[in-house]
Each structure stands twice: as structure tokens, then as C-alpha cells.
A = this chain, B = another copy of it.
């Protein structure tokens, strides 16, 4: 398997990205290869010569870098030789089986969608993350690829995230909920209501109806469908709140007694490890014709290593084939075809 990585993506690039790639090597199979994408003069000096000789790691030159704050579509247009643009080309030209970046999320989504295209039957790809919770892992789609969701997109997010949850997290018949602002059927905005009607027409999905923000951590569902805007706020709110709460606890413990704070430290570390989303190695862009993982901008080497291992699992379980098969047989296969044509027209 050939795994291409944006060496320049993220706050700690290229150092942590390359370190993560190197850390993964011993876990890879003999015929796996890593392709690092970015400016050769910045990447090659960081690679041990032994590694290059063995042919495990190669470099594909990309002189430009898209910054975290750059406008996604504009910067892709202005920087066709950026590491993200070249990465997407490798995925498209079938020179890589998986692409990974911790760079500008919007630019990644746009580049992967534009170059690699969607899987047959998929209207819009969605970013999918796994929340580790006391009730088990909860798969959430979309968390920021699509800020203009239609019911067909949301329905498809439910299908794709279910296939992911079943095949990669080994959850049999995953319970699917849709994020809304009330548990009852009558509640939610128009998008939620229309999506619910679509899902109910698909007897294969184990749909439990509306869920609310507080339900994520209650173990009542395995998959949550949500609009990209809402999902992104949820993801970042969770990150900020966990961080803020641990800081508040630390502060209070220090005021109480330093010895108590020291005793609490290993407990905190254990909770961090148990619920560390870095374990899942980033977010999959589900629905793309390929394997695409987008990592957190603050990714350290460990996240990159985990993302590489996650891409291997995703690829080898042939999740994409299962998605295509499902949609070919979906009650909305025809309407999707029409909708997709419109989507492409309006995108281009």
C-alpha cells in the first residue's frame, strides 16, 4: 500500500509529520511505502539515509505551502504546486492508495473532492470523527466538510458512518441518531425533519431518531448525523471544554494541596489516554474515491503514526466498496444521480 503524507501540513510540520511517518515504518508491511509531499530541501535533510536507501520512504517535491489561515479555494488556485494540491493529484492519479494531511482542512476537502472525486452514488463527502466516550466510541459525520447540508447529504452521512462503525469499530448494527434540539420527532429544523423521513424509508438503517448534545456521552447511540457547521462547533467545543475543565481541576487541586494534585496526575493521564481522540489518528473524509485522512492542526508524531495505521485499516477493509454497494441498492439511488449532477454543476 502506498500512503502519501503532506509533510508541510499542521502547526508542527515538517518535524512532527516526518517523525510520525518514520515511527510508523516498523509497523508497516513489507510492501507498504510512505510518500512524503513537500519541498525536497526541507524534507530530505530530516530523513535518515538508511531509510531512503531501503526505498520505504520517498519524497515528491511540492515547493508551495498553503497556510492554516489561507482561503481554501483561492489558495488551491494560486498554489497548484502546494503540498495539498500535489497530494490530491497523487490520490487521483492512482499513485497513492491513501492521502493524509494535518494542514488547512478546507483546502484538503476542496482538493480531495476536486481531484479524487466522490465515490459512485455519493453526493457530498463528510468528515467523520470518532468520539471516545464512557459508553463506547461514537462516530460523528459531518464535522466540517459541508456547511450547506441537504437532507440527502445527511442521510448519506448516516449510511457511511454506520458502515464505518460496523466494519472498523466492530459495532454490530450501529444505532444511528440525528443531532437535533429536542428528542421528540416533531422537533428540529427543516433539514432534520426531511432527513428523518428519508432515513425512515431505508429499512436497513438502525435509526433511533433525534439525539441532543447531552446524549453523545450517554451510550445511547453509536453514530450521530449532523450538519457540518454544527459538528464542527461540537468537535471544537468538546476539545476546549475538556481542556478547560482539566485546567480548572488542576487549579483547584493546587489550591487544596500540591500532594493531592500530584496524586491526581496519573488518574488524569489515564483518562486522557482512554478518551484520547488522537488514538483514532484524525478524521476520515468519507465518500471520497480513495482513502483520505485529515488530522488536527496541532498533530504530533503519534497522531500521524496513528493516522497511517488507520488508513491501512480503512483501505484493507474495503470500506469504500461497501459504501458503493449500499448506495447502488439504496431507495434514493435515482434521486441521488440527479442531485449529484446539480452539485457538480454548481461547484464548477
Contact = CB atoms under 8 A, between A and B. Distances in A.
Contacts of A267: 249, 252-253, 256, 260
Contact of A229 (B230, B241, B252): B230
Given A69-B184, A134-B244, A256-B267, A214 B228 contact: no
Looking at chain A's contact residues, is the secondary structure mostly helix, strand, loop, or mixed?
A: helix
A131 to B, nearest CB: 10
A40 interface: no
Contacts of A233: 179, 181, 212-213, 226, 230, 233-234
Contacts of A200: none
A237 B249 contact: no
Contact of A245 (B188, B214, B242, B256): B242
Interface in A235-267: 235-245, 247-249, 251-253, 256, 260, 263-264, 266-267
A234 B263 contact: no
Contacts of A201: none
Contact of A271 (B214, B237, B239, B252): B252
B241 A238 contact: yes
A151 interface: no
Nearest to A247: B134
Contact of A252 (B144, B182, B184, B270): B270
A71 interface: yes
B253 A237 contact: no
A213 B144 CA distance: 12
Interface string A208-225: 000011111110000000
A224 to B, nearest CB: 11
A301 interface: no
Interface in A189-205: 189
Given A229-B181, A244-B133, A252-B270, A147 B189 contact: yes
A181 B232 contact: yes
B243 A245 contact: no
A183 interface: yes
A186 B71 contact: yes
A106 interface: yes
Given A241-B242, A252-B271, 20 more contacts: A69-B183, A71-B184, A134-B248, A134-B251, A144-B181, A147-B181, A179-B233, A181-B233, A214-B236, A216-B240, A218-B240, A218-B244, A230-B230, A237-B237, A248-B271, A248-B275, A249-B268, A256-B266, A260-B263, A264-B264
22 contacts: A69-B184, A71-B184, A134-B244, A134-B251, A212-B232, A212-B236, A213-B234, A213-B237, A213-B238, A213-B240, A214-B236, A214-B239, A214-B240, A215-B236, A217-B240, A217-B241, A217-B243, A218-B244, A226-B233, A234-B237, A242-B245, A249-B267
